[in-house]
């Protein structure tokens, strides 16, 4: 079997930090990222799966849902995730296809609308913690939405923000399609935005739920499921730092799994940003015995090649 | 090569006429439709592609775009089509997977986010005629939107409605993925909502455009491209009628291509409803030498089997 690579693209691969931008801004940014991904493919990473974040994009969809709620029925969060998979996915297909052609490579690029199963007894259901959507400063509006079943937390001076459960990804339901397409020579986009979260009831089809799965964890899961030998999380910092932002700050170039787990247990990594990336890299290294990378998007080729960012060895 | 079947599902397969409904209503309706599609698969239509309409769903997305336009940048129409492909697509995957399992059939169901190429010199660009989105009664609002480049037509007492160009589908760009998946045993959803309309500029990636491709024509195109031997358009009437709604009304059970083309030239079929279905069936019969069907969704299995609806022979 050809070697398989999974690359998880952070929000900065799609839009500048903190904004979702217009469609043409997102397209330009995705195109710039795909120029790098095409280098990866040209470099021989043949069986390649891309996954991607969608935070600001889902935020925009949620705002539209709320502002239009008296006119059209809001769609649930799992539908919002699906919507962002499609828009980001086909823009990747357009621009990566174009960049590959510049390398003389003709390969189908296929975004797979991806569902990821979570469990109904995941402890995350009782502790919604993943912030999504815009900041609100209208307390009455927050109260109205909490009445309707949403959860909000106060985030300092910026106001209130919705939080949703972020359950553990258990099974990538569309993995069979991903593997068929890889074996057929396609480059695949899958588990975007962490995947569409679904649960299984006793009887009935898979059912979408109001949750957001972490995209790095969903990427690491898929990487393990398809037997990838390389997993890279690409983001807007150069790698993993210990004592980040202090005088003792130290960037890790190569780190053994055990050591990284120890730093993690020390509370070195924040829940919202580096935490899930480190957890995803650890799970991949543990589960497969292969090295995982956390690196800057700008160093994609070197990072996947093992010579940039933080390399986490099993 | 196994025989291939393409089935184009009308809006009634997704939501009751004239409404987009809530997500759970759409899901229930799609599930009921997929119970029938599962019968088709169990009946031996092994290499099956589904395509589907998305009119009311795109209408909802457009309303949200407009109501939120001062807060988040509206996304272009091609993105709206992509969004509906994802939500309808994964709901089909969920419910068809479930119904197939009840028949003891385990096959991947894969929605392909599908782009369809149109031409920049299509005459449709100069004559936007496809109505989309809600009816408006506020003339000042209509004027504002026309200022912003949209086109509106007065539709009797119901008010104004946006019209967009509906260019001819020329190439299904994601056909390679569709064929790979079919050959691998998957059931594929493709060219939903007529496909995401894209054009090719001299230099640069495929670029989305503000247009809507007719879903029956995009289905007929894909059916020809993949060498399908059966093409069925399923809708909410039992087939094609001549002198529809008059005393001389006559339903066609079997009709030769030439005869149907003659009725078409006589102006028997309206642009907004039966017109494109008849055109799609004719193109398929002409292009492949195989029979096309136009029938009620309720008679899906018989229609695909050649014994219900209107059968158009080459």
What are the pLDDT digits (tens) for A249-269?
999 999 999 999 999 999 999
Task: Note the pLDDT tens digit of each residue in B169-226.
Answer: 999 999 999 999 999 999 999 999 999 999 998 788 999 999 999 999 999 999 999 9
Q: In this structure, are residues B282 and B297 in contact, taking their beta carbons and an 8 Å threshold?
A: no
More confident residue, A252 or B56: A252
Please report residues of A whose CB lies closer than 8 A to that of B204.
Answer: 98
Please report the pLDDT score of residue B261 as a whole number.
97
pLDDT digits (tens, 9 = 90+) for B135-168: 898 999 999 999 988 999 998 888 999 999 999 9
Rounded CA-CA distance A311/A304 in Å is 9
pLDDT for the residue A296: 96
| Probe site for chain B from A15, A16, A93, A179 (most B CB atoms < 10 A) | A93
Q: Which residue of B has its CA nearest to A28?
A: B205
What's the pLDDT at A286? 97
pLDDT of residue B264: 96
Q: Do A310 and A250 contact (CB within 8 A), yes or no?
A: no
pLDDT of B87: 97
Contact B113/A97, CB-based, under 8 Å?
no
Report pLDDT for A271. 81
In A, residues 183-222, which contact B (CB 8 Å cutoff)?
A: 184, 186, 196, 198, 204-208
Share of chain B above pLDDT 70, in %: 99
Q: What is the pLDDT of residues A85-127, one digit of tens each?
A: 999 999 999 999 999 999 999 999 999 999 999 999 999 999 9
Residue B80 predicted with pLDDT over 60: yes
pLDDT for position B146: 92
For the segment B103-128, the average pLDDT, to the nearest whole number, is: 96
Cβ pair A86:B60 closer than 8 A: no
How far is the first Cα of chain B from the last one, in angstroms, to the nearest whole number?
Answer: 22
Give the number of C-alpha atoms closer than 13 A to the C-alpha of residue B155, restricted to the C-beta side.
19
**Mind telling me the catalytic residues of B?**
11-12, 130, 215, 277
pLDDT score at B9:
97
Task: Specify the range with the lowest mean pLDDT, choosing from A111-125, A184-198, B269-283.
Answer: B269-283
Contact B219, B280 (CB under 8 A): yes
Please state the rounded mean pLDDT for residues B111-129.
96
Q: Which residues pair with A202 in a beta bridge?
A: none
In this prediction, residue B1 carries a pLDDT of 58
Residues 170-189 of B with CB under 8 A from A: 174, 176-177, 180-181, 184, 186
Q: Does any CB of chain A come closer than 8 Å to the CB of residue B131?
A: no
Rounded CA gap, B219 and B172, in Å? 9
Which of B237, B74, B211, B214 minimizes the C-alpha distance to B145?
B74
CA A293 – CA A304 distance, rounded (Å): 7
Give the pTM.
0.96
Return the higher-pLDDT residue of A1 and A291: A291
φ/ψ (deg, to 5) at B312: -100, 110
Give the model's confidence band at A20: pLDDT under 50 very low, under 70 low, under 90 confident, else very high: low
Nearest to B217 by CA among B161, B163, B287, B154: B287
Six-digit token pair at A8? 């998880």
The answer to whether residue B18 scores a pLDDT higher than 80 is no
Tell me, yes or no, if B115 comes closer than 8 A to chain A by beta carbon.
yes
Instruction: Answer whether residue A1 shows pLDDT above 60.
Output: no
* Average pLDDT rounded to a whole number, residues A27-41: 95
Q: What pLDDT was estimated at residue B290? A: 98
Residue with tokens 């995009």: B218
Burial annotation A289-313 (CB, 10 A radius, 16+ → b, else e)? ebbbbbbbbebbbebbbeebbbbbb
pLDDT at position B133:
86
A13-17, A56-60, A83-87: range with lowest mean pLDDT: A13-17
What pLDDT, on the 0 to 100 scale, is given for residue B202?
Answer: 75
Residue B75 confidence (pLDDT) above 90: yes
Percent of chain A predicted with pLDDT > 90? 86
**Domains annotated on chain B, with CATH:** 4-117+174-313 (3.40.1160.10)
Which helix (H) or strand (E) segment holds residue B4: the answer is: strand B4-9
By DSSP bridging, strand B47-52 and strand B4-9 are: parallel
Determine the pLDDT at residue A19. 66
Residue numbers of A between 237 and 276 with CB closer than 8 Å to B: none
């Amino acid at each position: 079997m050809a070697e398989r690579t999974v690359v998880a693209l952070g929000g900065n691969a799609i839009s500048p930090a903190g904004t979702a931008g217009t469609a043409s801004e997102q397209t330009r940014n995705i195109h710039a990222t795909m120029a790098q991904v095409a280098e990866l493919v040209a470099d021989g990473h043949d069986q390649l799966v891309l996954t991607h974040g969608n935070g600001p994009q889902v935020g925009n969809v949620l705002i539209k849902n709320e502002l239009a709620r008296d006119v059209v029925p809001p769609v649930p969060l799992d539908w919002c995730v699906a919507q962002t998979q499609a828009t980001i996915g086909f823009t990747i297909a357009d621009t990566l296809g174009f960049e590959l052609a510049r390398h003389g490579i003709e390969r189908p690029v296929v975004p797979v609308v991806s569902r990821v199963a979570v469990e109904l007894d995941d402890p995350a259901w009782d502790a919604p913690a993943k912030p999504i959507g815009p900041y609100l400063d209208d307390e009455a509006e927050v109260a109205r939405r909490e009445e309707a079943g949403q959860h909000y937390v106060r985030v300092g001076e910026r106001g209130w923000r919705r939080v949703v459960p972020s359950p553990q990804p258990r099974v990538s339901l569309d993995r069979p399609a991903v593997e068929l397409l890889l074996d057929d020579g396609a480059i695949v986009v899958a588990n975007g935005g962490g995947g569409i979260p679904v649960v299984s009831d006793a009887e009935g089809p898979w059912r979408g739920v109001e949750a957001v799965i972490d995209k790095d964890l969903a990427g690491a899961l898929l990487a393990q499921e398809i037997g990838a030998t390389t997993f890279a999380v690409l983001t807007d910092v150069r790698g993993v730092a210990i004592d980040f932002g202090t005088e003792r700050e130290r960037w890790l170039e190569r780190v053994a799994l055990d050591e990284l787990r120890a730093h993690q247990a020390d509370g070195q990594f924040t829940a919202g940003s580096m935490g899930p990336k480190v957890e995803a890299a650890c799970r991949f290294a543990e589960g497969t015995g292969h090295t995982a990378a956390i690196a800057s998007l700008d160093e994609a080729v070197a990072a996947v090649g093992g010579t940039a960012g933080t390399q986490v060895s099993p």
